[in-house]
Chain A
Amino acid sequence: AQKITQTQPGMFVQEKEAVTLDCTYDTSDQSYGLFWYKQPSSGEMIFLIYQGSYDEQNATEGRYSLNFQKARKSANLVISASQLGDSAMYFCAMREGRGGGGGNKLTFGTGTQLKVEL
Chain B
Amino acid sequence: EPEVTQTPSHQVTQMGQEVILRCVPISNHLYFYWYRQILGQKVEFLVSFYNNEISEKSEIFDDQFSVERPDGSNFTLKIRSTKLEDSAMYFCASSGGRYSYEQYFGPGTRLTVT
- Interface membership of A12, Cβ < 8 A: no
- Interface membership of B75, Cβ < 8 A: no
Judging by beta carbons under 8 Å apart, are B102 and A105 in contact? no
Judging by beta carbons under 8 Å apart, are A105 and B58 in contact? yes
Judging by beta carbons under 8 Å apart, are A100 and B103 in contact? no
Judging by beta carbons under 8 Å apart, are A109 and B98 in contact? no
Judging by beta carbons under 8 Å apart, are A108 and B44 in contact? yes
Judging by beta carbons under 8 Å apart, are A105 and B48 in contact? yes
Q: In the complex, A33→B104 CA distance in Å?
A: 15
Q: In the complex, A50→B33 CA distance in Å?
A: 18
Judging by beta carbons under 8 Å apart, are B108 and A44 in contact? yes
Interface residues of A in 11-47 (CB under 8 A from B): 33, 35, 37, 43-47
List residues of chain A with CB within 8 A of the CB of B102. 35, 47, 50
Q: How many residues on the B side are at the interface (Cβ–Cβ under 8 A)?
A: 33
- Known contacts A47-B102, A91-B43; A106 and B110 CB within 8 A of each other: no
Judging by beta carbons under 8 Å apart, are A102 and B31 in contact? yes
Judging by beta carbons under 8 Å apart, are A43 and B43 in contact? no
Count of chain A to chain B residue pairs whose CB atoms are closer than 8 Å in the complex: 72
List residues of chain A with CB within 8 A of the CB of B50. 101, 103
Q: How close is B27's CB to chain A, nearest CB, in angstroms?
A: 16
List residues of chain A with CB within 8 A of the CB of B45. 105-107
- Interface membership of B95, Cβ < 8 A: yes
What sequence of 0s and 1s flags, for each residue 86-110 of chain A, a beta carbon within 8 Å of any chain B beta carbon?
0000010101000011111111111
The residue that B31 contacts in the complex, of A37, A44, A103, A108, with Cβ under 8 A, is A103
List residues of chain B with CB within 8 A of the CB of A50. 101-102
Q: List 21 A-B contacts (CB under 8 A).
A: A43-B89, A43-B107, A47-B105, A50-B102, A91-B42, A93-B43, A102-B97, A102-B98, A102-B99, A103-B31, A103-B49, A103-B55, A103-B56, A103-B95, A104-B101, A105-B33, A105-B58, A106-B103, A108-B42, A108-B43, A110-B41
Give B contacts to A, CB under 8 Å. Answer: 30-31, 33, 35, 41-45, 48-50, 55-56, 58, 89, 91, 93, 95-108, 110
